[in-house]
Amino acid sequence: MTEEAIIEFKDCSIFQTDNLILSNVSFTVNPGEFLYLIGKVGSGKTSLIKTINAQLPLKKGEARVAGYDLTMLKRKQIPYLRRKLGIVFQDFQLLTDRSVENNLSFVLRSTGWKDKKMITERIKNVLEKAGLGYKSFKMPHQLSGGEQQRVVIARALLNDPEIILADEPTGNLDPETSEGIIRTLMEISKAGRAVIMATHNYTLLKKFTARTLKCENGKIFEVDHGEEFDFTALME
């Protein structure tokens, strides 16, 4: 396996229970790289993301994620792998009964942080990186959709992960807000984290070009940016 890659899959088969979703999956992602994962709904994007974060077991092939061998991964190791991963969901999954700061402090405390001053500093730091420096006292319902997604990005950064996995993070957002989210994720990758973003937003792909993997017909392959994207293949 490659020394410098933070994610490496080699001849892998991706399953949902006993259903084969993707076969012969081989790719690498380096630290600081931004990667799009595209394809129609049901093509395997989310299954691949769930395999990377060990929600789905890897039954066939070789894969390493953040130093962990997925084929040899023991159940007790999964929480340690996931600390190296930050997850950004489409549907936010924020706790609606507490402020932004308390949403974030809940995550830190549940992952072992105890020092109150360090918790406050970390929350301030990640909110600034996500472009939400002055919103810590707000409740989720007081924020726009884009602001809520920025809280989710801040939450994903809390434990200083090596990899960010973003599954359709702009799916519920308007075009202008979506562009802001992409810029933030790209800035995060430039700071040294690998970012994988699953999307079928053709407009963003054209405006913010980056290396792109496509799931189609049970396979995954790299898109040649010299070719025109097939718009219809990205649509639901």
Q: What pLDDT does residue 83 have?
A: 87
Answer yes or no: is 13 within a domain: no
Answer yes or no: is 144 within a domain: yes
Per-residue pLDDT tens listing for the chain (236 residues):
555 899 999 999 999 988 999 999 999 999 999 999 999 888 999 999 999 999 999 999 999 999 999 999 999 999 889 889 999 977 778 999 999 999 999 999 888 889 999 999 999 999 998 988 888 899 999 999 899 989 999 999 998 999 999 998 888 888 898 999 999 999 999 999 999 999 988 888 889 999 999 999 999 999 876 555 555 544 44
Q: What pLDDT does residue 236 have?
A: 43
CATH code where residue 169 lies: 3.40.50.300
Distance of CA 175 to the CA centre of its chain: 20
Answer yes or no: is 42 within a domain: yes
Q: What pLDDT does residue 235 have?
A: 46
Selection from 45, 49, 56, 62 nearest residue 16 by Cα: 56
Which DSSP string do the residues of the chain spell out, in sequence order? --SS-SEEEEEEEEEETTEEEEEEEEEEE-TT-EEEEE--TTSSHHHHHHHHTTSS---EEEEEETTEEGGG--GGGHHHHHHTEEEE-TT----TTS-HHHHHHHHHHHTT---HHHHHHHHHHHHHHTT-TT-TT--GGGS-HHHHHHHHHHHHHTT--SEEEEESTTTTS-HHHHHHHHHHHHHHHHTT-EEEEE---HHHHHHS--EEEEEETTEEEEPPTTSPP-HHHH--
Domain count, the chain: 1
Answer yes or no: is 185 within a domain: yes
CA distance 149 to 93: 10
Answer yes or no: is 183 within a domain: yes
Selection from 86, 88, 158 nearest residue 126 by Cα: 158
Answer yes or no: is 226 within a domain: yes
Selection from 163, 160, 79, 84 nearest residue 122 by Cα: 160
Answer yes or no: is 45 within a domain: yes
Place of tokens 């490496």: 8
C-alpha distances out from residue 224 to 37, 97, 143, Å: 13, 46, 38
Token duo for residue 169:
């993070």
Q: Provide the domain limits for residue 179.
A: 33-52+86-234
Answer yes or no: is 123 within a domain: yes
Q: What pLDDT does residue 110 have?
A: 85
Residue 112, class by beta-carbon neighbours within 10 Å (0-12 exposed, 13-18 middle, 19+ buried)?
exposed
Selection from 51, 121, 49 nearest residue 87 by Cα: 49
CA distance 229 to 13: 26
What residues have CB less than 8 Å from 61, skipping those under 6 apart?
9, 10, 11, 12, 13, 25, 71
Q: Give the tens place of pLDDT for each residue, 215-226.
A: 999 999 998 765
Q: Taking the model in full, what pTM does it have?
A: 0.89
